[in-house]
Amino acid sequence: MQRKPLGQLLKELGYITEEQIQVALEVQQVVGGLFGEILQKLSFVSPREVAEAIAYQSGKPYIDLSQYPPSKEALRLIDKNLAKQFQVIPFQVEGNKLYLAMVNPYDLNAIDIVRRVTDKEIEIYVADTETLLKTIEIQYFLLEKPIDEEIKELIERAKAGGLGTEVPRFVELILNNAIIDRATDIHISPEDLASHIFFRIDGIMKHYYAIPKEIHNPIVSRIKVLAGMDIAEQRLPQDGSFSHTFFDEEYDLRVSTVPTAYGENVVIRVLGKNISLFNLKNLGFEENVLKELEKQFMKPQGIVLVTGPTG
């Protein structure tokens, strides 16, 4: 069966116009290159829109790698250099089957090489270029230098005699770990015997670390300095904010402190500037419920209330 041209498919999906297709074709004749990449460079479409169209065109499922991070077991099957060269990344292993995300599902050479290197049956998914390349950089970095292990090493060091000059590094690691796990809030709560660090993920509070109470105040002071708050004031609630960058992605962090009997309680709200959202089909609705929702959304009037816990 003949493959429908990508430009025509993007037009049918409502992403571009006929005029934009003609402009992109003229540019392609001059500079060469893939049509989808030219459309992105001209800012006619987003990387995700191109990837979704290619997935539809090829009959392969689309995957948002920012929502489904690869497993370590899968990553170890392919070298980082090979992943970057062919713009592929393995994200899951099930028995003899390897699930592979790639930008170009028509690259049979890349698929064959991955099959021979891993000795696995390959299941292809389509991902957008931007997210895939970013995922390669972050996930292979974490594979070589696990943040969680470094945090636990610093906690053990703190038990033996404090963190000293490594407090800023500890705070940075906590922030990075929260971002990796898609936490919306970080809670640092002092108690009688120790201080506890919680992350709120998908609205649920999860305990991550117990730290010696001796390093609670230095950690709070470091956060208050970053947020432009008064480190000398520990008897009144305070609010502040600062920016944090992780792998070229900037995050706004809103900080609140409240005094308690055991020290200051800290809450940090993590606000990503480019966080990708689930589309309606990825929210887990039953097919009949999804169809009813889509039907309701077509109406010109009405209101939808979305309720739930913070984060």
Q: Is the pLDDT of residue 270 over 70?
A: yes
Whether 283 is covered by a domain: the verdict is: no
Q: Indicate whether 265 and 174 sit together in one domain.
A: yes
- Tell me which residue range forms the domain holding 130: 72-144
Q: What is the pLDDT of residues 147-176, one digit of tens each?
A: 989 999 999 999 888 788 999 999 999 999
Q: Indicate whether 191 and 152 sit together in one domain.
A: yes
Q: What is the pLDDT of residues 107-146, one digit of tens each?
A: 999 999 999 999 999 999 999 999 999 999 999 998 988 8
Q: How many domains are contained in the chain?
A: 3
In the chain, the amino acid numbered 40 is Q
Q: Indicate whether 139 and 153 sit together in one domain.
A: no
Q: What is the pLDDT of residue 282?
A: 64
Q: What is the pLDDT of residue 205?
A: 94
Q: Indicate whether 186 and 245 sit together in one domain.
A: yes
The pTM is what?
Answer: 0.71
Q: Indicate whether 164 and 238 sit together in one domain.
A: yes
And the tokens for 249?
């992605």
pLDDT band at 296 (very low <50, low <70, confident <90, very high): confident
Whether 109 is covered by a domain: the verdict is: yes
Q: Indicate whether 267 and 152 sit together in one domain.
A: yes
CATH of the domain at 230: 3.30.450.90
Residue 32 near residue 3 (C-beta atoms within 8 A)? no
Q: What is the pLDDT of residues 200-240, one digit of tens each?
A: 998 899 999 999 999 999 999 999 999 999 999 999 999 99
Q: Indicate whether 189 and 261 sit together in one domain.
A: yes
Q: Indicate whether 105 and 123 sit together in one domain.
A: yes
Q: Indicate whether 224 and 164 sit together in one domain.
A: yes
Helices (H), the chain: 6-12, 18-31, 35-41, 47-58, 72-75, 80-86, 108-118, 129-144, 147-161, 167-180, 216-226, 287-297
CATH of the domain at 84: 3.30.300.160
Measure the CA–CA gap between 82 and 273, rounded to whole angstroms: 30
Whether 284 is covered by a domain: the verdict is: no
End-of-domain residue from the set 90, 115, 144: 144
Whether 203 is covered by a domain: the verdict is: yes
Q: Indicate whether 140 and 153 sit together in one domain.
A: no
Measure the CA–CA gap between 211 and 235, rounded to whole angstroms: 22
Whether 218 is covered by a domain: the verdict is: yes
Residue 271 near residue 254 (C-beta atoms within 8 A)? yes
End-of-domain residue from the set 115, 144, 173: 144
Q: Is the pLDDT of residue 277 over 90?
A: no
Taking CA 128 as the corner, what is the angle to CA 123 and CA 132, rounded to the nearest 5 degrees?
Answer: 75
Q: Indicate whether 199 and 268 sit together in one domain.
A: yes
Whether 106 is covered by a domain: the verdict is: yes
Residue 100 near residue 91 (C-beta atoms within 8 A)? yes
In the chain, the amino acid numbered 151 is I
Residue 46 near residue 36 (C-beta atoms within 8 A)? no
Whether 53 is covered by a domain: the verdict is: no
End-of-domain residue from the set 126, 144, 162: 144
Q: Indicate whether 159 and 221 sit together in one domain.
A: yes
Q: What is the pLDDT of residue 274?
A: 63
Whether 186 is covered by a domain: the verdict is: yes
